[in-house]
Amino acid sequence: MENCQVGVFLSYVTALGHALIDRELYLPEDWCADLPRRRAAHIPESLTFRTKPELAKQMLRRAQSAGLPMGWVVADTVYGHSTDLRVFLEEQGYPYAVGVPSIEVVCVQTRAGLLLSDVASIAKQALRADDWQCLSASLGTKGERRVSWARLPVAQAGTVDGCHWLVFRRCLDNPDEVAYFLIWAPPETPLPTMVQALGARWHIEEDLQATKGLGLDQYEVRSYQGWYRHLTLVLLAYAFLVSVTVQSHLRASAQQESAACTALIPLTTSEARHLLAHLMFPAPTSAPLICHWSRFRRSHHYWAGYYHRRRRAKAG
């Protein structure tokens, strides 16, 4: 607990790839008030306590200043619970899909009229069996991630504008496992589009897991500047690996590989890191053999996923 360092990260997701693009160190409030500790860690005197949603807002402003196009902003309950962050996104015109805790209180339009309550109670009182739809949020290694979804329009100042929604996600295996999300999107946005946006949030978990192998959670820096320098190098290394995989995907698409060659999973950042580690240092005795083993692993993963998805499809 004494040595824990918590970072807030911004990931950018596109159809070609995804990567972490920004980071901020979260300083607990007691750290900010401890002057000797601040001086020992070389924390700037001008730095004041900021919540995680405030750090997220700061990174979004930087992305906006850089001209980065943003179709959706997606976040978990730590950020979705912040009214200030949601208002900021609406003022900037960024559609969002954010998780909220079960105690979040909203007003929704139901068949019986307006209902003001916490989202957990709304799910039990206002939803019927035919309100749920089975949709896939994303494609995983074991096939489509299918769960049940439902939504209700949110009333803002007593009126429904068609832009604010409360979305529910229910696990197929355990109906008692329900998650809640607040959505702000253009009018007439269909539920499947919202589900796809929510499914994209999983990529930040993949980014965090992949960067751990590059040193995201393996360092001994104890200063404010040291943390930013180390994390910046990690993000740069990961961006390089993502660029390698993107170029590989584009080249494979342009060459229109044969059916036998397409029985491979796309090159991943982990596989690219593994290849570079064996091809660069020390000098390999047989580079073709290393590349062959890489293709074998990708082919093995492809067919393992294929048979797993087929087995799930037969099981219904």
Beta strands in the chain (DSSP E): 6-13, 18-26, 73-75, 96-100, 105-110, 113-118, 133-140, 143-156, 159-170, 178-184
pLDDT digits (tens, 9 = 90+) for 167-192: 999 988 888 899 999 999 999 999 99
Bridge partner list, 136? 146
Structural contact between residues 102 and 120, judged by C-beta atoms closer than 8 angstroms = yes
Q: Quote the pTM value.
A: 0.85
In this predicted structure, the answer to whether residue 83 has a pLDDT above a threshold of 90 is yes
137: Cβ contacts below 8 Å, ≥ 6 apart: 145, 146, 147, 169, 195, 196, 198, 199, 202
pLDDT digits (tens, 9 = 90+) for 270-314: 888 888 888 877 777 788 888 888 888 888 877 887 777 777 667
pLDDT digits (tens, 9 = 90+) for 241-276: 999 999 888 877 666 554 445 677 788 888 888 888
**Which two structure tokens, joined as six digits, stand for 187?**
């009018």
**Least reliable range by pLDDT among 39-53, 176-190, 200-214, 286-300:** 286-300
- Strand 6-13 with 18-26, pairing: antiparallel
